Amino acid sequence: MIAQPYTVDSEIILHPGTPGCPNCWMEGPKHALMTSYNQAGSEVLLSWSAPDDPLGAVFWTAKLMVSDVIERFKHRFLLEPDPEAEDHAVVYWAVGQSRVLAERVPLVNSGCRPLSRQGQVVGQDFLLNYPTIVSEYHYWKMRVTLWMAPPLSCFALRATVEAEQADGSWTVVSEKKALKVTVNR
């Protein structure tokens, strides 16, 4: 494995019992820890664990592995491979849940600013002593807010996922926050 300039330890919390959740695909451990790094604008998951539910973590890991094998099979044998897939930036906001944001190079070159009409910059902040660009992305009845750090190739040091309720209000269904950045020398 190639040594990475840094790794990030993050915590993910899924909020159970979210009323009217249109995105109830978010299943699995309610509390997880993960370690990842950023490769030219795209998050790469190294490991994860569910300290509160080790047995559930085993089943969830098996489910993710089967899903991954099925996806690889589909792309290799049934569909044309996507030659651009490696060119796109991916952000994880829950265990096994990620979203492609944009092409890697333009995202990093923009200073982590959204490149589509689905996203907009809503502020700036500092997390773990790193400056971040705070952006909101809107998908069908879902709002994702990312705190991306330009010095870390647009790594999302924080992410919240909110579901729109029937009354138009928003409820947090998932949170990811970086606990520590380890610079590898």
* Maximum mean pLDDT: which of 8-12, 15-19, 81-85, 129-133: 129-133
Q: State how far the Cα of 34 lies from the Cα of 153, in Å rounded to an integer.
A: 18
Q: Which of 42-51, 92-101, 106-115, 157-166 has the lowest mean pLDDT?
A: 92-101
pTM here?
0.80
Angle at 8 between CA 128 and CA 151, to 5 degrees: 60
Give the residue carrying structure tokens 């978010």: 26
pLDDT at 7: 92
pLDDT tens digits, 103-159: 778 888 888 888 777 789 999 999 999 999 999 988 888 899 999 999 998 999 999
State the pLDDT confidence band at 24, using cuts at 50, 70 and 90: very low
The domain segmentation of the chain, as residue ranges, is: 6-183
Q: Which tokens in the block code for residue 131? A: 């400056």
The yes-or-no verdict on residue 47 having pLDDT over 50 is yes
Query: How wide is the angle at C-alpha 92 spanned by C-alphas 122 and 138, nearest 5°?
Result: 40
- Cβ distance 147 to 123 under 8 Å? no
